[in-house]
């Protein structure tokens, strides 16, 4: 079950351990590309890495553990946001960065694996949150710069904006499972930017554009039943 799971060369970072780790992570990634997360097999990974399976179990415990460390590893390699000088350019850089990651065979497989792992393993979920928390916070800076330049309304929530740019891409990757292409990425930027310029990302202000006012307070309750805002509703209960 739960092993020591001492992460990356904690105690003895010496050459052998590091080599084992590298070989295992590499094998894990290759296996993910070929068979996906659910096909990830500890014994198979061990064989591929040329490592005894005892070692794999001892250090990583489960497939989710392997994937979690792989994600941690990738997190360390993520590129910092460039400052292209325009918020448009920066957001596009972000979108294309995500696009590239999603469509890269290795990275795409890894992300999907971690997402899958996170639905069942708390460690993977933490790694995922940590990764995106950091990444989003980092990219949010470009929005702050834009605000400082006067390119965006004061008070714009940078993190929300970055999320808004990325969301449609991941949504397609994971939920609707459509191919995600360059145009999707660019459009996502355009749409988010329009909303941002209109002040829709200003903190604590859900109702920026007068006529588009949100009257909210529909309150949801009843399971999946729809329950909106204005006018008539055909409230229908689906089966809980």
Partner DNA sequence: GAATTAATGGAACAAGAGTCCCGTTTGGCG
Partner DNA sequence: CGCCAAACGGGACTCTTGTTCCATTAATTC
- Contact set with DNA (CB under 7 A): 1, 6, 10-17, 20-21, 41-43, 50-55, 57-59, 61-62, 239-240
User: Is 3 a residue that touches a second copy (CB under 8 A)?
Assistant: yes
CB of 63 to DNA, least distance (A): 7
Q: Which of DNA, a second copy, none does residue 42 bind (CB under 5 to 8 Å by kind)?
A: DNA
Any residues with CB less than 8 A from the CB of 143 and at least 6 apart, and which?
A: 87, 152, 156, 157, 158, 161, 162, 196, 201
Task: Say how far apart CA 97 and CA 26 lie, in whole Å.
Answer: 22
Any residues with CB less than 8 A from the CB of 76 and at least 6 apart, and which?
A: none
Of residues 4 through 63, those in contact with a second copy by CB under 8 A are 5, 33-39
Any residues with CB less than 8 A from the CB of 29 and at least 6 apart, and which?
A: 70, 106, 109, 110
Contact pick of 14, 15, 150, 236 for a second copy (by CB under 8 A): 236
User: Which residue lies nearer to DNA by CB, 37 or 131?
Assistant: 37
* Residue range at the interface with a second copy (CB under 8 A); choices 17-25, 41-49, 50-58, 224-232: 224-232
Task: Say how far apart CA 231 and CA 83 lie, in whole Å.
Answer: 46
Contact pick of 15, 80, 150, 210 for a second copy (by CB under 8 A): 80
Any residues with CB less than 8 A from the CB of 19 and at least 6 apart, and which?
A: none
Any residues with CB less than 8 A from the CB of 149 and at least 6 apart, and which?
A: 87
User: Which residue lies nearer to a second copy by CB, 52 or 228?
Assistant: 228
Q: Which of a second copy, DNA, none does residue 112 bind (CB under 5 to 8 Å by kind)?
A: a second copy
Contact pick of 19, 58, 134, 191 for a second copy (by CB under 8 A): 191
DSSP 8-state code for residue 65: H
User: Is 149 a residue that touches a second copy (CB under 8 A)?
Assistant: no
Q: Which of a second copy, DNA, none does residue 225 bind (CB under 5 to 8 Å by kind)?
A: a second copy
């Amino acid at each position: 079950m739960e092993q020591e799971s001492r992460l990356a060369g904690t105690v003895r970072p010496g050459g052998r351990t590091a080599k084992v780790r590298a070989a295992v992570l590499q094998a894990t990634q290759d296996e993910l590309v070929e068979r996906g997360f659910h096909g990830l097999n500890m014994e198979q990974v061990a064989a591929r890495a040329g490592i005894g399976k005892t070692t794999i179990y001892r250090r990583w415990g489960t497939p989710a553990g392997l994937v979690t460390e792989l994600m941690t590893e990738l997190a360390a390699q993520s590129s910092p946001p460039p400052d292209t000088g325009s918020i448009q350019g920066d957001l596009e850089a972000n979108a294309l960065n995500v696009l590239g990651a999603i469509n890269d065979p290795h990275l795409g497989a890894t992300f999907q694996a971690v997402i899958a792992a996170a639905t069942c393993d708390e460690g993977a979920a933490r790694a995922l949150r940590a990764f995106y928390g950091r990444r989003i916070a980092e990219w949010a800076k470009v929005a702050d710069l834009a605000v400082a330049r006067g390119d965006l309304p004061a008070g714009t929530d940078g993190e929300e904006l970055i999320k808004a740019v990325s969301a449609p891409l991941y949504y397609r990757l994971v939920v609707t499972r459509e191919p995600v292409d360059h145009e999707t990425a660019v459009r996502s930027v355009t749409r988010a930017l329009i909303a941002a310029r209109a002040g829709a990302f200003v903190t604590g202000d859900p109702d920026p554009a007068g006529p588009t006012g949100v009257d909210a307070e529909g309150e949801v309750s009843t399971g999946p039943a729809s329950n909106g805002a204005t006018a008539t509703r055909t409230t229908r209960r689906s089966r809980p």
